[in-house]
Every structure is written in C-alpha cells, then in structure tokens.
Amino acid sequence: MKKLGRRMWLRGAGGFALAIPLLPSLLDQKEAKAGGNNRKRFVAMGTNHGAIWQPNMYPVDGSLTQTATYAGHQVRRGALALDVAGGVARLSPVLSASSSVLTSALAAKMNVLRGLDVTFYLAHHRGGHLGNYAENDGNGMDGQATQEHIPTIDQLMAWSPSFYTDLSTILERALVIGGNGMSANWSSPSTKTGEVQNISPENDSLALFNRIFVPEEDPTTVRPPIIDRVLEDYNRLKSSNRRLSAADRQRLDDHIDRLDELQRKINVQVSCGDIEPPTSSSIDEWGSSSYGIDPQAQVRFWQLHNDVIAAAFACDTCRIASMFATDIFSDYVGDWHQDVAHQAHFPDGEDQATISAAHQRFFEGVFLDLAAKLDAIQDVDGTVLDSTLIQWTQESGCATHDPIELPVVTAGSAGGFFTTGNYADYRNLSRPAAQPGPDSAVSSHTGLVYNQWLGNVLQAMGLDPSEYESGGYGGYGKVVLSTEGWYAGYQAYDNAELSVMSEILPFLGA
Amino acid sequence: MRDLSKRGRAGWRAATLSTSLLALVGCTGEIGGEDQETGPGPQSTPTNFVCDPDAVPEALPLRRLSHVQYANTIRDLVRYALPSESDAVITAVTPLFDQVPDDARIGPDKHYAGFARLDQAVQQEHIDATYAVANAVGAELVSTPARLEAVVGACATDGDASNDDACLDAFIRSFGERALRRAATDEDVAFYRVPAGSAPFEAADYADAAALLMTSPHALYLVEHGDESEGEHVPLGAYELASRLSYHFWQTLPDEELFAAARSGDLLTEAGYTAQVDRIFADPKTREAVAAFFSDWLENTTLEELDSRAGTPVFEAFAGDFTPGPELRERMLAEVVDAAAWYAFDGAGSYDDLLTSNRSFAKTSDLATIYGVPTWDGAGEPPAFADPARAGLITRAAYTATGSANTRPIMKGVFIRKALLCDDIAPPPPNAAANPPTLSETATTRQVVEELTANSPCNGCHQLQINALGFATENFDALGRVRTEQPIFDEETGASLGALPIDTTSVPRVDDDETLSTGSADLMRLVTESPKPNACFARQYFRFTFGREEDLNRDACALDDVKSKLDDGAPLAEVLRTVALSQAFKKRSFSEEVAP
C-alpha cells in the first residue's frame, strides 16, 4: 500500500480509522504558495421538538455582561465560559460534556444564540431549520397557509458559484442525512426552475462514503463512460417532432440538468491518498431491534456519519452536509412525542428532565463529536473546523410547536466570518410571549427574526444577499405576520426587526 | 437510498407521530381563549361527480416510474435477456436498487392515504443510481462468453466480425423493444450503436448498448405522445396503452403477449383491449399492485409499535398475559391489506363487504389470539370473528390498537373522517397539543376526551366530526381486544383500581345528520348507507391510477365510472378493473390549461 508522508489518522466511530492526507498537501500548489484557502464548509444539524426550558438550554443570565441597542431594543452578550467540575465541562445543563471533549479551546469556537423567532405559527416542521417553512405539518391556519416551498439554504449554497468557486474535486455538492424534509431544492437546480422538492436522505454511512470516495481507475483499462450518449438521448427526445406537453419538456429539462451534474461528477479526478473504506455502516446500528431506545446506538449511528463528513471535508470531495436527527437519544419507552415532548412544559419538571438529558446526549455525542473531529484536521489556516460553520437548531423553542426563542448552537467561524465564543441574547424583554402559570413553566419573549440568521449563514458562505433575498425582506425565508393564537398573535415584529434582516446579527460580525 | 422514515422504528415514529396527533386535535382559535368562531364546519367530500365528456384534464409531465416499478422493470428486462441466469444477475445488482430514492407517500392530506405513485420528484440520486444500475446490469449480462451468447446470440461470440453489425442491430431491436417499451426504429438502432463504433464488437459494446437503452427516457418514464389524432386530449398509441396497463396492474413492463398485442395493433381494437384487460387482471401479479393500493390508502399511520411500552407498569398490567412482539404492528397492518385482497380476488366481495366484514385474516397466532380465532392459512376460507361486537373494517386491530394502554378515540375518528369518508377537518388551534388526553384513574378515555374537547374552539370540530366516530369502537382496548368495560390503573404502579363501563353510543354525523349509532356495527351500517365512502374510494383509486390528485370537474368522468360501479354494488374486482376501461385511462391530455 502506498504510504503518504503527510497525513493523519481520523479516528472514527465503530473502531475504524481513516488515513487522510493533510489538506495543504491536497491543495493546488499555486494556491498553497499563496497560503489562500477560500474553502468554507457548512453542516446543519436539526433535531425534533426542542421544548427545552431556557435555564436548561442556555448559560446563566448573569453571564450576559455586554449590552447594545439593536432593532429598537436592548440585546445582550456574554463570553462562553466553561464551568468544569468532576470531569464535566458545562455551559448549561444541555450544553455539557466530558471535559476531555468540551475544552475551553473548543468552547471558544462556539456560539450560543437566543432570541431568534419564526414570525408565524409553525408548529411541527422539518424544512424550517434551513428556511423552507412550508415543509410543515399544516398545524394551525398559518401552517396550512404557508405551503409555498422554497429551496433550503444548504442547497442554495450547493448550487451557488459564490460558494463552490471550484468544483474540480467535488463529488457531491451536499450530503443529506437522516429524516426526510430538512433539505429541498428546485427540480432543475442549475436553472432554478421546476418544482421545489425534498431531497431524499441517505442513512447508510457506507453508501455515503462510497459516493464521496470513488477509487481511482486505471485510465488505460476504463472505457469512456456513456454519459454523453445518455444526455444526447434526452436531448433527442426533447428536440424530436413527436408531441410533448410543456410539462413534458420541463421534465426533460430537469432530467438533463441532473445528467449534466452526473457528467460533471464522473469527470472529477480525486486524489486523496490511501483512504480505506470503513468496515461498518450506520445501518448496522439502526438494524438493532433495540435501536429506538438505545441512545448509545443512536449516537454511534450519527458518529459514523460524522466520520464520513469529516473525511469528505478533509479530502474536499464535499463541503456541505445536513443532518436531520429524528432519534430521541433516550431509553424512554413509550410515546416520546406525546408523553415527553408535549408534556415537557409542565412545572413538575419530570418530562423536562428527560428531554433535556436527551438533548445533552445529542450535543455531546453528535454535535461535539463532529466539531472535535473537524478541529483535529489541519487546514491551510487553522483547522477544518475553523473554516466550517456547524449549526444545531431545534424544531421549536422552549415549548413544542412554538417557534419563539429557537436555540442556535454553532461551532466554527466560517473562515473567520463570525466571531466566536459568544452567548448572544436577542430577546426583546419588553415583549413577553409565553408566560409561566400553573400548567407551564415556560417563559419566553419575542426577539429578532430567524430568517436573519439564515441570511447570515449564506453571507458567511460567500453568497451575496442579492442571490437569495426576495419578497421585500432581508434574510432568508418567508415572513408572515399573522393573528393566529398562542399568545396574542405573531404580530410582534415591526419595522424595527424587519428592516435589519440583511445585517449581520449583533456581536457576530468579525 | 436509505430513508429511515419509511421504517417502523424510532426515526419513523419521531417524524410521523410528531405530526399526527397534533394535526387532528381541535379547530381554529386558542384553547383557553374567549369564545370565538369555531372555524369552518365539516368539509364533506363531494359525492356526485358530474361527467362532462368534453372536459379535458390538465396535462401531466412525463410520469417517472416509481421505485417499485423501476426495480421490477430492470429485473424483468434481465429475465427477458438472460432467463437462464437471471437470478444471479439480479442478485448481483439488487444492492444498487437501494441507491434509487424511495418514493414518499403523497396526497392531499399529510397524514393519511398518501400514495407512493404520486411522488414524481426527480432527484440527482435517481439519475446517478439508474445510471449505475444500467451500467452494472449491462456488464453482468455479458460478463462471460456464455452469457454474451445467451443474451445476444452466437453471432457475438463466433469470432466472425462480418456479422457483428447485424448482431448488434438485432440485439438493439429486440432488447430495445422491451427497454423502450415501443418498437425500436432504424433511427434508434443507429443511435444506440454509436458507442460501439465499428465492428468487430466486444462484450463491452453490447453492455454499453444495453445500459444506454436502460437509461433512455422511454425506459425511466412513461413517454406518451398519443396517436396521430389532432387535439389536446388524444388516444394513446398501442405501445403506450400497453405500458399503462402493465404498470397500473403489474407495476412492471408488458409481458410478451401484451407486447405482441401492441405490435399487431390488436390492443387498439375494443375486443382485443378488453381481452387484454381481463387477462392482465387475472394474472397473479395484479394482486401485488392492488395490495399496494390498499396498503397506501388504508394504512393507519399513527399506529405505534405494539411492544413500545413493554416493561412499563401500566402497560404490563393492561396487557396481562398477552405479550406483543416487535412484528405485531406490521401484522395488524398486513391483515387489512389481506382482507382487501381477499375480497377483491378470492371472495368475490364488494367494497361494502370489506367495510362490514366479520372475517379474520390473521395469519399469525398473536393477532389471532387478539381476535379469539384460529389462524388463517392465507388460502382457504378465512374464519369468522367469534365476537359479534367485532363488525367491520374499523374494528380490526390495525385501527383499534395504539401501542399504549390507552385507546385513541380522536385518532380513530380522524382516520374514518379523512381516509374513509374523504371529509376535510379544519386545522387544530396552536396550543391544542399542550394538554393531550391521558389515561385517567377515575374516568374512561371517552370521558377524558369529552371533557378535554367540550369547549370552544375544540368542540366545533370534535363534536361534529371527530369524537363520535372514535367512540363507536371504544369497546375494543388498546391491543384491539374486545372489552365491555375499561380497566383503570394506578398510573405509577399499574395496580388495578377497578373498571368503568364502556359507552359506544354516539351521533357520528357520517352524513352531517343526527342519526344515533349504538356502536361499531351501527356505525359501519351508517357508513355503507352513505354515498361518501364510494366517492372517497373513487378519489383514492384515481390518485393511485393516474399518479396525481383528481380535479373534481375535469376528471369527473373517470371518478364517476368507478363510483357508479361501487354504487351498483359491483364486486371489487370489477371496480378495480373498470378504471382501465374508462376513456381517461386510454387517453392523455396535452392541455396547457392549469387547474385553478
């Protein structure tokens, strides 16, 4: 086996290891000489429900030492400071982990954002994490009225020349993993036409690996691929004099667009050293009969995917991944949705403890696992994590169904675009939303609009607002100011919040 | 593609159940708020489809083969090309089928009666995977000289280059007719032989030709140009008609007899067409497609794993000496499909017979135990339920069991209202799920639900549309067992606290009327007397048949064809076959007029 001098071992889950070359050795010499690295990466992690009480999710209010006036109200910031005791490092009960994993250095590369809202009653959804709010369950009048699907931000950047300035090593523009519905795009992505459709996820980490690592072939023994001829076959039908409807032609255009992408991928030449395929798959974990109530197996399932993502980023065969983790990360037996998530707001705290512990397992086992793996890979400037933005978002805020105070936890600075080490609180404390009472311990306030954060992510990845903003609002995603119930209607956002949505959020601009 | 949302474990549960309860509870407004309008009343399904023969449906884009149809097609092409070693080739390439995305179940309702055939998305993975499959199959078909000779003929292996051109052309014409599902023209032959270049040809040249044919638009889509008629709604050509028939009833390409009927034009004659419809429907392959229809339509998507609470005190106390296993959920769902298929193919039954059936189709002892009957061997006469209380579709375990110790009258009611009657229900208020019905130590589940939904804004939808339908089967417990009273338990220890009497009387308002129902049998009588279930059946079958949602005006003729048969009490087999005789089935639209 050929040995490379400049490489490292990426220790993966399930006992497998990947030998990956250090990125600088993969870079074009000219680029390396210049010391430039415009490669940015993005990972979106989404989990169901949310419903974490604020004291369990966020650092203590006392850590918010800095204030500023923004969008007509006071916003706050503090430095993320670890509290380490008994081998456990803690930013909050959910954001805690073994001190060997959650180090001060890693915490300094994180951000915790509070006070970002969707402006209408969204309830259960899958697409909202990345801006396609229409991918919801139709709960409430707002949910039913908001059914116009739009591409998600991972797909926007995947097909933007501002993000992928060079596709010569990219075998997959974006990986979509986990539950269905988090990622969506046009049926003809390059032309941004057709219907917006969900991207089917891949949950077999070995299959995913095989998509991003294609073994080099001996050019003397390989026949020319027939892809050119396949393309011609579709063009042949499209240009024939046989009767076709306009919809038929759109369908053929969509297919031809995809064939173009396949043709591009077939012609990608990747040299990434002697990568050895992993010997186990996430599906092996999932296939266990006890998987649904085995949080350790669920964590391993996702760690196997983390390994593939880390290796893909290291070898630069893909720079985007979305991960929709619908597992419960708990050994709870029963109806998690109804009996835990929907009762987590009760003041007795019993279900809140269960759901918070589950989220802590996700944070430590999945989010931090990937962050640590990326931070262990050397890049041209710093580590791969430094050029990456990992975001973890939850379906709802502190109460299930309620898109108020959606937590956003990040790691990486997107190549220095964002400052890190921040706990930022954007709530408007003069605008209460949920208020505690005999049946609920939830207390929340409206703040800034989540769309603004999504726009910030796109800007961090190199996209100009002109590429994605529409409808007269900044940021990304639909804005609806409805009168639907829950509190006093979702009319808590006026020009102060809505006029700043193209801007970088306070405290985050580098 | 491994889409875990299709499977019955935690990922699925989280994704699916997160939707189900909430979508069903309540109406508009805010719970706890002041009285207000309770939103729109019942949105009843239309029950009368007025056929306008001149109406033209909206043109559809080329229909993509579903995942199942595509995989079946490739397997059948292999069987055609290399019958002697087809199993080996299919085994070798089957893992690649996993890379083709599964189809999502899609329909107007997000939770019930979604059909895989309506998923017409074309994603990058479709293109990548079908390309990989085609290349792999092509290579496998000619991987040895013996295979090459079997697939192409002795001309491919005889070492005589002078006959190679004719050899390749003949292969393209023969394999091409099956892959393209139409006659391969001279232009096709010239096109698909290009990668091979000039003779002599090697095995890989034939592999490339086969792969090209299997990635053709005619292979992956139902390409329909119509015949030579003018107009925007034209009859299909013979080959196109053959494909419609085979993909609808068999989920795969036409067989040799159907190809022959298309080739000869016999399929375009009324007698020839009818004969083929009869032959196709009688073929065992049709049973699988019909099962897929009923499975998509009638699946209770809210049914949890029956063993999901095993080991918890209340569930153990409730279950008693019955221990549900991890397969019971699937067996309950399969029993519904078996029942439908039996009435369609074996029992010569009608849709009403299925709705009111008192026969068990439990093939395993666990479900048979719940029903108190012997297991069914899958072939003979299915046993009758012993208890007269179990009467009708909605009393089957798939619809009464829940996976917990508690029944779900609301969920049962919503299933009947939406999936069986095709009525709409207004969305729930924002905080509807904040206080879900739970097991009580002092009240029956019915009483809990009644109290929970007694006030505005919930009462509008729940009292008029939902609860009463679910109360009718409260004489079945959460494992689907008959009961006459509801045992109550200490919520912590599971200790018995006694039992409360069951009440199954209600006013279900099947037809927005005030007729009283005494229980499940009475409810099923009201359902079968209503025009709604037949109209609903027609709509669901339309979606399955045409791969799209119906337009109640422009598709009224096709809907009415099916509903009329149902109204006449025709056997299910005749109803299912009828759609192939409708004008809608035999024509395609090129109308650019978009439905509003």
Residues 30-49 of B with CB under 8 A from A: 30, 33
- Closest-CA residue of A relative to B588 is A245
Whole-number Å distance between alpha carbons of B389 and B409: 17
Candidates A202, A243, A486; nearest CB to B225: A243
Is residue B222 helix, strand or coil?
strand
| Whether the Cβ atoms of residue B216 and residue B209 lie closer than 8 Å to each other | no
Whole-number Å distance between alpha carbons of B531 and B536: 9
Phi, psi for B80 (deg, rounded to 5)? -70, -45
Q: How many domains does chain A have?
A: 1
Strands A73-79 and B587-589: unpaired
| Whether the Cβ atoms of residue A399 and residue A444 lie closer than 8 Å to each other | yes
Of A33-42, A103-112, B397-406, B559-568, give the lowest mean pLDDT range: A33-42
CB-CB under 8 Å, A326 with B4: yes
Phi, psi for A324 (deg, rounded to 5)? -105, 100
CB within 8 Å of B180: residues ≥ 6 apart: B188, B213, B216, B218, B219
Q: How far from the centroid of its chain's Cα atoms is residue A66's Cα?
A: 28
Contacts with A139 from chain B: Cβ below 8 Å: 22-23, 427-428, 430, 432
Contacts with A226 from chain B: Cβ below 8 Å: 135, 195, 208, 211-212, 215
For residue B365, how many other CB atoms are within 10 A of its CB?
Answer: 10
CB within 8 Å of B34: residues ≥ 6 apart: none
Q: Does the structure show a pLDDT above 80 at A23?
A: no
- pLDDT tens-digit readout, A238-285: 999 999 999 999 999 999 999 999 999 998 877 676 677 788 899 999
Distance from CA of B120 to the nearest CA of A (A): 9
Strands A320-325 and A388-394: unpaired
The tokens describing A115, both together, are 């006070």
The tokens describing A200, both together, are 């089917």
Rounded (to 5) percent helix, strand, coil in chain B: 50, 5, 40
Mutation target vs B (from A48, A139, A240, A435; most B CBs, 10 A cutoff): A139
User: Residue A381's pLDDT is what?
Assistant: 83
- Closest-CA residue of A relative to B402 is A335
The tokens describing B145, both together, are 């000289």
| Whether the Cβ atoms of residue A106 and residue A371 lie closer than 8 Å to each other | yes
Going by C-alpha positions, the residue among B340, B370, B373 that lies closest to residue B357 is B340
Q: Which residue has the tokens 């405290």?
A: A507
The tokens describing B343, both together, are 């009435």
CB-CB under 8 Å, A199 with B431: no
DSSP state of B345: I
Whole-number Å distance between alpha carbons of A498 and B581: 57
Phi, psi for A287 (deg, rounded to 5)? -70, -15
- Chain A contact present for B205, CB below 8 A: no
The tokens describing B367, both together, are 């479900």
Rounded (to 5) percent helix, strand, coil in chain A: 30, 20, 50
Going by C-alpha positions, the residue among A207, A241, A125, A48 that lies closest to residue A477 is A125
- Closest-CA residue of B relative to A338 is B436
CB-CB under 8 Å, B22 with A123: yes
Distance from CA of A274 to the nearest CA of B (A): 24
Strands A193-198 and A184-188: antiparallel
Contacts with B218 from chain A: Cβ below 8 Å: 237
Candidates A139, A226, A400; nearest CB to B23: A139
Whole-number Å distance between alpha carbons of A493 and A480: 10
- Chain A contact present for B14, CB below 8 A: yes
| Whether the Cβ atoms of residue B176 and residue B215 lie closer than 8 Å to each other | no
User: Residue A271's pLDDT is what?
Assistant: 67
- Closest-CA residue of B relative to A325 is B11
Q: How far from the centroid of its chain's Cα atoms is residue A480's Cα?
A: 23
Strand partners, A393: A46, A408
Per this entry, what is the length of chain B?
A: 596
Distance from CA of B462 to the nearest CA of A (A): 15
| Whether the Cβ atoms of residue A409 and residue A427 lie closer than 8 Å to each other | no
Distance from CA of B499 to the nearest CA of A (A): 23
* Domain range list for chain B: 64-222, 233-283, 289-529, 532-589
**Can you give the pTM of this predicted structure?**
0.90
Distance from CA of A286 to the nearest CA of B (A): 9
DSSP state of A126: S
Going by C-alpha positions, the residue among A95, A62, A97 that lies closest to residue A79 is A62
Q: What is the 3-state secondary structure (H, E, C) of B374-436?
A: CCCCCCCCCCECCCCCCCCHHHCHHHHCCCCCCCCHHHHHHHHHHHHCCCECCCCCCCHHHCC
Q: How far from the centroid of its chain's Cα atoms is residue B337's Cα?
A: 10
Q: Which residues of B110-136 are buried (b: 16+ CB within 10 A; e: fewer)?
A: bbbbbbbbbbbbbbbbbbbbbbbbbbb
Candidates A197, A262, A326; nearest CB to B14: A326
Distance from CA of B102 to the nearest CA of A (A): 8
- Chain B contact present for A482, CB below 8 A: no
Strands A388-394 and A408-411: antiparallel
Contacts with A137 from chain B: Cβ below 8 Å: 18-19, 22-23, 110-111
- Closest-CA residue of A relative to B439 is A339
CB-CB under 8 Å, A243 with B590: yes
Candidates A139, A229, A261; nearest CB to B124: A261
Q: What angle do CA A82, A428, A81 make, to 5 degrees?
A: 5
The tokens describing B407, both together, are 């029944």
Is residue B521 helix, strand or coil?
helix
Segments in chain B below pLDDT 50: 5-42
Distance from CA of A34 to the nearest CA of B (A): 36
Contacts with B99 from chain A: Cβ below 8 Å: 207
Candidates B5, B99, B431; nearest CB to A401: B431
Q: Which residue has the tokens 């048969």?
A: B565
For the CA atoms of A445, A447, A449, A454, what is the dihedral angle to 10 degrees? -100
Q: Is residue A47 part of a domain?
A: yes
Whole-number Å distance between alpha carbons of A251 and A260: 14
Whole-number Å distance between alpha carbons of B591 and B588: 9
Whole-number Å distance between alpha carbons of B398 and A164: 50
Q: What is the 3-state secondary structure (H, E, C) of A235-256?
A: HHHHCCCCCCCHHHHHHHHHHH
| Whether the Cβ atoms of residue B242 and residue B252 lie closer than 8 Å to each other | no
The tokens describing A77, both together, are 């910031």
CB-CB under 8 Å, A252 with B217: yes
What Å distances lie between residue A143 and A301, A338, A449, B109, CA to CA?
A: 32, 20, 17, 13
CB-CB under 8 Å, A126 with B98: no
User: Residue A223's pLDDT is what?
Assistant: 81
Candidates B121, B127, B212; nearest CB to A259: B127
Going by C-alpha positions, the residue among A235, A230, A261, A263 that lies closest to residue A249 is A235
The tokens describing A70, both together, are 């923004």
Highest-scoring range by mean pLDDT, A209-223, A474-488, B99-113, B200-214? B200-214
Contacts with A261 from chain B: Cβ below 8 Å: 124, 127
| Whether the Cβ atoms of residue A429 and residue A52 lie closer than 8 Å to each other | no
Domain carrying residue A316 = 41-53+106-216+269-498
Residues 366-385 of B with CB under 8 A from A: none
The tokens describing A136, both together, are 């919801």
Q: In CATH, what number is assigned to the domain containing residue A349?
A: 3.40.720
Q: Is residue A12 part of a domain?
A: no
User: Residue A33's pLDDT is what?
Assistant: 43
- Closest-CA residue of A relative to B119 is A197
- pLDDT tens-digit readout, A283-316: 999 888 889 999 999 999 999 999 999 999 988 9
User: Residue A4's pLDDT is what?
Assistant: 29
H helices of B326-364, in order, are 328-341, 351-356
- Chain B contact present for A180, CB below 8 A: yes
User: Residue A141's pLDDT is what?
Assistant: 78
| Whether the Cβ atoms of residue A203 and residue B4 lie closer than 8 Å to each other | yes
- Chain B contact present for A167, CB below 8 A: no
